């Protein structure tokens, strides 16, 4: 998922963030490497810690 060519860009970036975290990298370093905001990296690491891969998908939005 992190390196698939047919994976959506957002999903690929989320998966890469989680892989970097599994390698023991800091949130700041991950944010620089994946080119995301630090808060975004924190959010995706937290969601992954709660529910695993299934929670890397977009959540339903109202409206």
The answer to whether the CB of 16 falls within 8 A of the CB of 31 is no
Digit-coded pLDDT (tens) for 14-49: 888 888 998 999 999 999 998 889 999 998 888 888
pLDDT, position 62: 78
The answer to whether the CB of 25 falls within 8 A of the CB of 38 is no
Extract the tokens encoding 50. 């709660």
pLDDT, position 49: 81
Q: Which residues of 2-24 are buried (b: 16+ CB within 10 A; e: fewer)?
A: eeeeeeeeeebbbbbbbebbeee
Prediction pTM value: 0.69
């Amino acid at each position: 998922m992190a390196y698939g060519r047919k994976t959506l860009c957002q999903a690929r970036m989320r998966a890469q963030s989680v892989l970097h975290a599994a390698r023991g990298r800091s949130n700041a370093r991950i944010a620089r490497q994946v080119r995301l905001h630090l808060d975004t990296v924190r959010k995706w690491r937290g969601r992954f810690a709660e529910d695993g891969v299934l929670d890397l998908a977009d959540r339903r939005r109202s409206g």
